[in-house]
C-alpha cells in the first residue's frame, strides 16, 4: 500500500472519532511532529548542545542581555 492510500485510510479512520480528548491528543502529537521536523536534531545532538551551553556558562563564556541589546539595537 502506498503512502497516499495510507493517508486516505488514516483520515477516514480519524473522522470516525467522537472524543474531543482523542482529537486533542492527535493535535498535540501533530504539533510535536511539526516542531521536531523543523529542528531536525536528535536527542543526542540536543544533549550535546545542552552540555556545551552549561560548560560555557560555568566558564563564563557568554554574553549578557545588555551586551546583546547594545550590539544589535
Lowest mean pLDDT: which of 3-7, 46-50, 53-57, 68-72?
A: 68-72
Yes or no: say if 10 and 16 are a contact pair by the CB < 8 Å rule: no
- pTM comes to 0.45
In tens, the pLDDT along 32-57 reads 888 766 667 788 988 999 999 999 99
DSSP secondary structure, 25-62, as one string: HHHHHHHHHHHHHHH---HHHHHHHHHHHHHHHHTT--
Per residue in 12-29, pLDDT (tens digit) is: 999 999 999 999 999 999
Q: Are 34 and 46 in contact (CB under 8 A)?
A: no
Amino acid at each position: 500500500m502506498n503512502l497516499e492510500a495510507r493517508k486516505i485510510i488514516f483520515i477516514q479512520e480519524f473522522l470516525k472519532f467522537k472524543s474531543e480528548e482523542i482529537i486533542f491528543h492527535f493535535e498535540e502529537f501533530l504539533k510535536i511532529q511539526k516542531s521536531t521536523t523543523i529542528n531536525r536534531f536528535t536527542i543526542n545532538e540536543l544533549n550535546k548542545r545542552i552540555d556545551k551551553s552549561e560548560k560555557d556558562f560555568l566558564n563564563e563564556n557568554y554574553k549578557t542581555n545588555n551586551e546583546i541589546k547594545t550590539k544589535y539595537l
